[in-house]
Amino acid sequence: MIPVNELSFEGNERRYLEECIVSGWVSSEGPFVDRFEKEYSSFIGRAHGIAVCNGTAALETALYALGIGAGDEVIMPSFTIISCALACLRLGAIPVLVDIEPEIWTMAVERIEEKITTRTKAIMAVHIFGNAVDMDKVLELARKHNLKVVEDIAEAQGSQYFSNERGSQWRACGALGDIAATSFYANKIITTGEGGMVLTDNDEYARKARDYRNLCFGKEKRFTHEEIGYNFRMSNLQAALGVARLEQVVNFMRIKAQLGEYYKKKLSGISRLKFMTSRSYTKLTYWVYALTLTPESGMTAEELMRRLEARRIGTRPFFQGLHTQPALKRLGLFGREEYLHTENAYTYGLYLPSGLALTEPKIDKVVEALKEALES
Ligand SMILES: *Cc1c(COP(=O)(O)O)cnc(C)c1O
C-alpha cells in the first residue's frame, strides 16, 4: 500500500522529545513552546506566534483576537475544511460563502464584494493545496470596507505571494493579512502531531490570543476571569517535535517541490486529467499533489479513488462545499446557495500520495496504477 501521507523522522525529533522527558517539562510550560513560537513566526515573517492545540482552535483564537463576536459576518470560501465555519460559529459569528476559482481552488476574490453587508467584519482567506488567494484584491477590499483579514495557511506553509499592497515583493502566505492561523497536523508541512499557531504583528491581537488559549486567567488575581477563554495550549512535547521539524523545513519544501515536478512530468499527456496550476503571483509549495478529472472523462473522483484503492494507492477526496454540509444547513445557514466550481471540485477532485517520505519509484507505481484505473 502506498499511503496518502507517509512521514519519516530523521532529524532531532527523538533527541528533543527525550529532553522533555528527562527534564520533566511535558505540559505547556517548558522551553520548547517559546522556542517554537519564535522560530515558526520568524519563518513566516511575523512578530508574534501563539502556539495552540490544533489548527481549528488557531482559527477560532485568531477571530477572537480580532474582536469577532455575536452576529458578525466573516466571508470565506465555500471550498474549505469545516474548521473555518466552526471557528465563527463558536464565537457566535456567521460564515458567509463565496465560490472558488476553478483552476486553483482558492476563493474567487471578485465575488467577495457582493457578499459584504453592514455586519461583515472580516475576510477569511484560505490558501488551498499550496495555492495562494489573490491577497492584493482581498487587502484592497478590506481597506475599502474597513474589514479585517485572517489568513488560513494550514495548507500553504512556505508558499509565497507577490504583493503590490505589501511593498511590491514576495511575502510568505501568513504575512499578508492582519492575522493568520496554521495547523501542525501530521499531513501538514510542519507537524507537531496535533497543533496550531496564531501569527500576527499586532501586539494587542497577540495578547488577546494568548489570553484566549489559556482560559483568560486574571492578570492581578489569577483565578478571577474577566473573559471566557479555553484551554487551547500546546504541550512542550508537541513543540519539541515542531522545533525539530522546523529545522528541516528547507529540505521538506525541496522534497515537496521535487515530488510535484516529478508527478507533473510523469502525468503529462494523460488527457482525462487536469493538473494543479498556480498563478504568476504564487510561488507554490506542493503541499499535496492535487488533480481533477475532466467532466468529459465520464468518471467521478469517487470512482477513480475506488479503483486506486483496489490497486493499493491511498488518495483523499477534495473538500465538500460548506453550503452542502448537513450540520451547517440544519442551523439554517446557506439556504439554497449553490457554488458551481466548489461542486465540480468536490465531484472531480482528489489528491495523490504526497507525504514527505514518498520516493520517485513509488510515484512511478502511483502513475502506473492511475493509468490503469483510467483505462479499465
Ligand atoms: C488541516 C486544516 C485545518 C485544521 O487543522 P487541524 O489542526 O486539523 O484542526 C484548517 N484549515 C485548513 C485549510 C486545513 O487544511
In a domain, 2, yes or no: no
In a domain, 8, yes or no: no
In a domain, 4, yes or no: no
In a domain, 3, yes or no: no
Residue 125 makes CB contacts below 8 A (sequence gap 6+) with 106, 107, 133, 135, 138, 149, 150, 151, 152, 176, 177
Give the Cβ contact number of residue 186 at 10 Å.
13
Residue 269 confidence (pLDDT): 85
The pTM assigned to this predicted structure is 0.97
> Which of 78, 81, 84, 86 to mutate to test ligand 1, by most ligand atoms within 8 A of the CB atom?
81
Same domain, 170 and 146: yes
Domain boundary among 246, 264, 295: 246
Whether ligand 1 lies within 6 angstroms of the CB of 152 is answered as yes
In a domain, 133, yes or no: yes
Instruction: Find the 80 Cα to ligand 1 centroid distance in Å.
Output: 9
Same domain, 281 and 211: no
Cell representation of residue 276 = 494543479
Range of the domain at 270: 249-375
Same domain, 201 and 98: yes
Same domain, 302 and 336: yes
Among the listed residues 184, 195, 190, the one whose alpha carbon sits nearest the alpha carbon of residue 356? 190
Same domain, 220 and 262: no
Same domain, 288 and 321: yes
Whether ligand 1 lies within 6 angstroms of the CB of 80 is answered as yes
Domain boundary among 219, 246, 273: 246
- Cα angle 287-321-163, degrees, rounded to a multiple of 5: 50
Once rounded to an integer, what is the mean pLDDT over residues 155-174? 96
Identify the CATH number of the domain in which residue 335 sits. 3.90.1150.10
Give the number of domains in the chain: 2
Sheet holding 316-317, edge to edge: 273-275, 289-293, 349-352, 316-317
Same domain, 119 and 175: yes
Same domain, 182 and 76: yes
Whether ligand 1 lies within 6 angstroms of the CB of 236 is answered as no
Instruction: Find the 319 Cα to ligand 1 centroid distance in Å.
Output: 12
Same domain, 230 and 92: yes
CA 105 to chain centre: 13
Taking only the tens place, the pLDDT of each residue in 241-298 is 999 999 999 999 999 999 999 999 999 888 899 998 999 999 999 999 999 999 888 8
Instruction: Find the 196 Cα to ligand 1 centroid distance in Å.
Output: 9
Question: What is the pLDDT confidence band of residue 5, given thresholds at 50, 70 and 90?
Answer: very high
In a domain, 42, yes or no: yes
Cell representation of residue 173 = 502566505
Whether ligand 1 lies within 6 angstroms of the CB of 187 is answered as no
> Which of 60, 83, 153 to mutate to test ligand 1, by most ligand atoms within 8 A of the CB atom?
83
Instruction: Find the 153 Cα to ligand 1 centroid distance in Å.
Output: 9
Whether ligand 1 lies within 6 angstroms of the CB of 182 is answered as no
Question: What is the pLDDT confidence band of residue 154, given thresholds at 50, 70 and 90?
Answer: very high
Same domain, 69 and 188: yes
